Structure 1
Amino acid sequence: MSTSTSTGPTAPPDSPESPKSPKSPDARGQAPSAGAPAAAPDRITGRAKLVLFVLCAAQFMVALDFSVLNVALPVLGADLGMSNSALQWAVTAFALPSGGFLLLFGRVADLVGRRRLFLTGLVVFGAASLLATFAWNPAVFLTGRALQGLGAAAIVPTGMALLTTTFPEGPQRDRALGISGTLMSLGFTVGMVLGGVMTDTLGWRSTMGLLAVAALAVLVLAPGLLKESRPQERPRLDVPGAVTVTGGLLSVIYALSTAAERGFGGADVLVTLVVGVALLAAFVVVESRAAAPLVSLPMLRRRTVAWGNVGGLITFSMMSTVIFVLTLYLQEVLSLSAFRTGLVFGVQGAASAVAGTYAPRVIGRIGARRTLVAGLLGQGAFVAALLLIGTGSGALVATVAVSIASMFHLGAIISYGVIVTSGVPDEEQGLATGLVTTTQQVGLTVGIPLLGVLATTRGESLFDGVRWVLAVNAGIVVLAAALIAVALRNRAVAR
């Protein structure tokens, strides 16, 4: 498959509107065409740095929202009068719209403008965070969380599309995606630490207030830096496709999120899971017949898009499961406090920051395909190493192992984004990045209910259950690495 992209009028190399330049044989495996403009510089300079800062700040803010509230849930529940069984909705209310609407908003952004939808998402997210901060009862709080998820569903795919259309395919985009991936991973772990500190010192409402302030800060900077981005010809919105895929994703995410708390035996879980699968199957049929499909089936048939997203789904879902069971292990088996558990995962965040610095260099040296496979193999190997943890003073062993695993995990995250978006023309970048971010959100959602239940149902103790999860997890990751290595073995398919 060709990796060439369309170009527009020539702009300065460090301008956000800079066209994509043909790549040298070393970078992409293709020689530049005759009369092609000179390749863009490797380094990100000038105004583009500020654009990258704003886009990454928004991604970091959303990642922070995934975890900052976790350790505050017991305090929140007592303050608002929410039962333990109802607390899951503090997470699910955000996860449903943030995952369910991503693909739809990725296409809507191509229609109405990525900058416009990005700014709209920031306004919704910030207002929803304020509503959650001052919530006076559970209904108001959960409404705020749902609106936060809706805002995040607009921010994430548009931010990624603005990033990939701002930076030319090659070293600049690899670096930009590396920084973005690092901050997303760092935001998740920093959120766990901040959540404990802020809840203990300022109360749980401060965690939501922090998000409102962050959204306002990005909203002040973004309008003056971001330029509008949309295809020259505006396609029609595929309404049947939008209804079936959004309904299917919402149903599946609801079923899996609920199963994480109550298991798969509940009637509502089974019904919504079946409905979700049926709607997603109907979506495939609708897209095969639509004149202007929401998702181009030929795009999904590209090996880079299909297998790149498989790699992203596996690394997100399996690593989120590791974090979940290690949280149980550290608190329930080793009796660490929630605050100290958050500090343990803070070490993972530091390791992610280091990995984010080197991952783009590794991609430039050995290629995104090999980096993805190596990242998955490394993640699987070090998750398997966690089987050596014990019931005594094993916290340090767990900390070091998960920190090393997170470094490989981040390499896989960055490289799969590079693989999926490489060779995709600007007019389809909203769709491609919508797929990338949908994979992230679905991965974060499905891993825990699918494997986390083993932690409490297998073996004679919680510790035995944790070891079961780790063993299955490592096997899945290594198997995925092998399949991707075979599927993308042709270097012309993925560099």
Structure 2
Amino acid sequence: MSTAELLPEAETSGRLPQRLTGRQKVVLTVLLVAQFMLAVDFSILNVALPAIGDGLGFTLSGLQWIATSFALAAAGFTLFFGRVGDLVGRKRVFLGSLALLGLSSLVGGLATSPAVLIAARVAQGLATAAATPAGLALLTTSFPEGPLRQKALGLNGALMSAGFTAGAVLGGVLTDLLSWRWAFFVNVPVAAAVLLIAPGVIRESRPAERPKMDLPGALTVTLGLLALVFGLTQAGEHGWSHPVALVALAAGAVLLAAFYRIESRAAQPLVPVHVLKKRTVAWGNVLGLLAFATETSLVYLLTLYMQETLGFSALAAGISFGVLGAGTVAGGLLAARFIARTSTLTALVAGGLLQAAFTAALLLLGGTPASMALLLPATFLGGAGNMLVIVGFMVTATTGLPDREQGLATGLASMSQQVGITLGTPIMSAIVAAATAGAMTAGAILHGVTLAIAANTALVLLGVLIAATALRTRRT
């Protein structure tokens, strides 16, 4: 007999609905389009940064703030806005944040100075911090636990991961063919379309009783996450021994420890401690963080490899990631069926092993374009494995909680996703920098990228070990 929470497959039975209704299909489409757009925003400006710098007169050191300002707002405020959605209504927060995203994207595309563009990026990050957990909470509360929710989360995970890689492709195409400004403008019609359709098909979702906002908890977790993300970005730019990075990371750790202490004593906590102690929530989010950190940082490593070692253009490198995007979509489409036929734990372990195997295969990359014959199938299959892990993480981290806590659960999941995206690249960048010792030759870059790929593989295997031990059903 089990003495611990079972994973969702144990609750799945033939009595649960197996097919989506017409209304559910429309709701799912609207939410997936919005989440895909939010994922694209994470990477669409990466290849456009030099063009933006030339167009608006950014200094070389100031250019990185285009990405950093977005990451700070998106990761730092996710948990806070996830709880706000629980309190005032997820639909209201979702629609308001999409309106802000559309407006800030328009301002960013029309920007004539660095200050205006950075302000637009901060607003985009805040909109993402609010829309992502609200959209996920609407998704989980619109579909009952079981096959339908697994299918919805599988499609959502596939499009989120595909959106990240599609952003690199789309950013290169728009910048080369039109202007970097279209990397902002492309959000405006999509946001407008969602705002036109969503009010009529999405139902409001909020708890029956509205608790008070835990301001001390909200303040400490938000400041803690901001310090953590800022420290990570500074470590990626200046190295892990840089004083600013160390002070920020230490401050983040202290503030997050204070947050946990506050939550354990608060009458109406922002994040109830019993939720943080729930095995599936805690370890599921660790696995989500590792899954996003490893795959998104691999995109950075392979971009570096293709451009600096193989001499590809930014556009050619971006298009190459279309294969990775196809792999993530395939993995997302298959994930729900795989979980239904096996278990969520099996998906986490099997997906992690598949991702690790094909990430390790990239250790054999050489210095000639012939290596693309290895890179393309390896990224396809590794991406499919990564998506099994991501869908498994989403199902695990949102299971067994009542609807009133789904905004909290999806806020934690969104926070893990965004911190993972922010965390992975500085770690891998630091490994490459240490290995190359400042040399920017093709051979030195290949050596640094190879060492970082080995570290990436090790992190994936760490996730497999955690899933196999921490989420295994205990029996008496």
**Same-fold call, TM > 0.5?**
yes
Distance 1:217 1:179 in 2: 20
Distance 2:221 2:329 in 1: 35
Q: Does structure 1 conserve the Cα–Cα contact (< 8 Å) formed by 2:296 and 2:425?
A: yes
Structure 1 residue 31, shift from structure 2 partner = 8.8
Matched, 1:484 2:467: yes
Name the residue aligned to 2:353: 377
Q: Does structure 2 conserve the Cα–Cα contact (< 8 Å) formed by 1:334 and 1:395?
A: no
Distance 2:327 2:203 in 1: 34
Report percent identity of matched pairs: 48
Distance 1:79 1:210 in 2: 19
Which of 452, 458, 461 does residue 475 from structure 1 map onto?
458
Q: Which has the higher contact order (CA 8 A, sep 6+)?
A: 2
Unaligned runs of 5+ in 2: 438-443
Matched, 1:217 2:193: yes
Name the residue aligned to 2:431: 454
Name the residue aligned to 1:12: none
Which of 298, 301, 305 does residue 325 from structure 1 map onto?
301
Structure 1 residue 40, shift from structure 2 partner = 3.5
Q: Does structure 1 conserve the Cα–Cα contact (< 8 Å) formed by 2:8 and 2:399?
A: no
Matched, 1:297 2:284: no
Matched, 1:399 2:380: no
Pair 153,31 (structure 1): closer, same or farther in 2 beyond 3 Å:
closer
Distance 1:307 1:108 in 2: 24
Structure 1 residue 132, shift from structure 2 partner = 0.2
Which of 376, 391, 396 does residue 419 from structure 1 map onto?
396
Name the residue aligned to 1:14: none
Structure 1 residue 67, shift from structure 2 partner = 1.1
User: What are the Cα deviations for residues 93-148 of structure 1, in whole angstroms up to 9, with x where unaligned?
Assistant: 11111110100111111100010111110111111101101001000000000000
Pair 379,437 (structure 1): closer, same or farther in 2 beyond 3 Å:
same
Which of 460, 463, 466 does residue 446 from structure 2 map onto?
463
Tell me the secondary structure at the aligned position of residue 212 of structure 2. Answer: coil
Structure 1 residue 91, shift from structure 2 partner = 0.6
Name the residue aligned to 2:236: 260
Name the residue aligned to 1:17: none
Name the residue aligned to 1:28: 9
Q: Does structure 1 conserve the Cα–Cα contact (< 8 Å) formed by 2:9 and 2:339?
A: no
Name the residue aligned to 2:66: 90
Structure 1 residue 2, shift from structure 2 partner = 7.6
Q: Which moved more, 1:392-401 or 1:319-328?
A: 392-401
Could you list the structure 1 runs, at least 4 aligned residues long, displaced by more than 3 angstroms after superposition. Answer: 1-4
What's the TM-score once normalised by structure 1's chain length? Answer: 0.91
Matched, 1:117 2:98: no
Structure 1 residue 339, shift from structure 2 partner = 0.4
Distance 1:241 1:155 in 2: 21
Which of 28, 33, 45 does residue 52 from structure 1 map onto?
28
Q: Does structure 1 conserve the Cα–Cα contact (< 8 Å) formed by 2:72 and 2:226?
A: yes
Distance 1:492 1:347 in 2: 42
Which of 128, 131, 139 does residue 104 from structure 2 map onto?
128
Structure 1 residue 459, shift from structure 2 partner = 5.1
Name the residue aligned to 1:21: none
Unaligned runs of 5+ in 1: 5-25, 33-37
Q: Does structure 2 conserve the Cα–Cα contact (< 8 Å) formed by 1:3 and 1:422?
A: no
* Partner amino acid, structure 2, of 1:432: A
Distance 2:360 2:402 in 1: 40
Structure 1 residue 188, shift from structure 2 partner = 1.0
Structure 1 residue 412, shift from structure 2 partner = 0.4
Name the residue aligned to 1:75: 51
Q: Does structure 1 conserve the Cα–Cα contact (< 8 Å) formed by 2:8 and 2:396?
A: no
Matched, 1:198 2:149: no
Q: Does structure 1 conserve the Cα–Cα contact (< 8 Å) formed by 2:8 and 2:395?
A: no
* Partner amino acid, structure 2, of 1:51: V
Distance 1:398 1:50 in 2: 37
Which of 289, 305, 309 does residue 313 from structure 1 map onto?
289
Matched, 1:428 2:401: no
Name the residue aligned to 1:13: none
Q: Does structure 1 conserve the Cα–Cα contact (< 8 Å) formed by 2:87 and 2:211?
A: yes
Pair 492,448 (structure 1): closer, same or farther in 2 beyond 3 Å:
farther
Distance 1:58 1:459 in 2: 40
User: What are the Cα deviations for residues 353-395 of structure 1, in whole angstroms up to 9, with x where unaligned?
Assistant: 2222111100111111110111112111111111011111212
Q: Does structure 2 conserve the Cα–Cα contact (< 8 Å) formed by 1:131 and 1:141?
A: yes
RMSD: 1.8
Q: Does structure 1 conserve the Cα–Cα contact (< 8 Å) formed by 2:169 and 2:315?
A: yes
Q: Does structure 2 conserve the Cα–Cα contact (< 8 Å) formed by 1:3 and 1:424?
A: no
Structure 1 residue 352, shift from structure 2 partner = 1.6
* Partner amino acid, structure 2, of 1:28: E
Structure 1 residue 264, shift from structure 2 partner = 2.7
Which of 37, 57, 82 does residue 61 from structure 1 map onto?
37
Name the residue aligned to 1:23: none
Tell me the secondary structure at the aligned position of residue 85 of structure 1. Answer: helix
Which of 121, 130, 139 does residue 163 from structure 1 map onto?
139
Name the residue aligned to 2:440: none
Name the residue aligned to 1:365: 341
